[in-house]
A and B are shown apart, each in its own frame.
Chain A
């Protein structure tokens, strides 16, 4: 598809004079000629209102995945953004109608692949709500531990890639990236001993969890969490004393409270704009009401407040994990154990919307079951899809370099956006 300048998909603002270059018939004025016998003259005119359409294409080093932003620039300032998504549309919703409730959770991981447990959680919770399936207490605590570890791992990757984007891969940005990946590897080792996989798991099943924790896992978990706790302070010190970081993050990408609610963004973005809403607190699921933790809220709405919220969320997740490990009850890990065939779990007719507070916001699964082993319709309410739809509203007015910082602080994962 070739992009024409009068293509309606180009920009949401008015096009304006689009080119500074005009080829005029020859006259006696000076100026460069195109040379040769054509006797026409090229005038260069920079009156300041010219707009340039620049493509920040699906492959770019900003490490966020396949996203295309067609920016309309006036000089260095962005005037309009057209976000083109769909480069990773993997037909999750249609495929879920062909896969059973036992098969789909590991595919559900692949929506938000950085925090894979979140999506599985939403799916199995929706199925359990319709089928009124009880989840044993031990399974609930294990789910909470896994979800909070996943939140820490996801925020570590966010911090690493955001600083990598802002600093440049061969410049200073790789410092925090390598440190965060080092910590994240420790958490992934924990997951590997629990589930067997590092990145994409099938840990959650309808009725509970699939695996129980092995010997010595709680001690390893406590040690890992202690190490991460001590290092978060180091990263905060590195970044917040750095004037370049502060200039790039303060006042950039302000999302007003009204815009945040209207567009439907959630998670650290919503809390960064002053709305105190956390599903773990407002509509607790899976024993979250048993744990004491704070929900950070900042009022500024810029990239720095979102950064502060995520840094506080590290510590809150560590608190929750410690409490859950201390009070982990004994008991079965699933109310539907012993899965012998893929079509064993049948959910009666009904519908439910289950939502989970993921690292990026509200991940929801709207499930319509029809009594068989496969859902009739399943819709993913992806946190990143809603979060990304705020970009055309907040980016205009910033410079090109800020686009990268804003996108990083919005933290999209394109598996969730495109599903």
Chain B
């Protein structure tokens, strides 16, 4: 499965997706195709290794969820991106497809407030359960006070 083969296959199945980049191959998708593309990547493209999943806050344009999967045997890396749209904070979950997405999506929820539909156990992972606010949003100040400790 070379990069060209993968590009052709993606173009056939997911015409709406934009594909660019060398390594990793960057694919930008609409949100509703997020889970189906992940399944396609795992089954057809052979990308069974789940590297990471995270989010980026683009201020007015909204949030963007990014995930990277790899095909270890054929050395193909795929970076999947989807923009959620301004004000939207829900996204389909990849946990039914890749078990490694469990903790990664919990961290996205913790840091950005994105609710993943289909996640079996969506709760905060790094901060305590009663923390208010989602720190990695650009609207959250890095030195927010938290009496009495800081």
Chain A interface residues (CB < 8 Å from chain B): 1, 8-9, 12, 85-86, 89, 91, 93-95, 97-98, 258-259, 261-264, 275, 277, 282-283, 353, 362, 364, 366, 368, 376-377, 379, 381, 385-386, 389, 393, 418-419
Contacts and interface: CB of A to CB of B under 8 A. Distances in A.
Nearest to A1: B129
Contacts, number: 86
A262 B95 CA distance: 10
A264 B126 contact: no
A264 B23 contact: no
Contacts of A393: 99
* Interface of A, helix, strand, loop or mixed by DSSP: mixed
Interface string B46-59: 00111110101100
Contacts of A379: 52, 54
A364 B54 contact: no
Cβ-closest 9 pairs across A and B: A264-B100, A86-B126, A264-B50, A263-B100, A381-B52, A389-B103, A89-B126, A261-B48, A379-B54
15 contacts: A93-B111, A258-B48, A259-B99, A261-B49, A261-B50, A263-B98, A264-B49, A264-B50, A264-B98, A283-B23, A283-B75, A368-B56, A381-B68, A386-B100, A389-B100
A91 B142 contact: yes
Contacts of A8: 121, 123
Contacts of B51: 264, 362, 364, 381, 386
B66 interface: yes
B89 interface: no
Interface of B: 23-24, 48-52, 54, 56-57, 66, 68, 72, 75, 79, 98-100, 102-103, 111, 121, 123-130, 135-136, 140, 142
A270 to B, nearest CB: 8
B136 A94 contact: yes
B100 A364 contact: no
A9 B127 contact: no
Given A262-B99, A364-B51, A379-B54, 5 more contacts: A275-B72, A362-B51, A366-B66, A376-B56, A385-B103
A263 B75 CA distance: 18
B100 A377 contact: no
Which of B66, B98, B103: most chain A Cβ within 10 A? B103
Contacts of A93: 111, 136
A384 to B, nearest CB: 11
Nearest to A419: B126
A377 B57 contact: yes
A313 to B, nearest CB: 18
A244 to B, nearest CB: 33
A367 B123 CA distance: 26
A1 B123 CA distance: 15
A4 to B, nearest CB: 13
Given A261-B49, A264-B52, A377-B57, A1 B142 contact: no
B52 A366 contact: yes
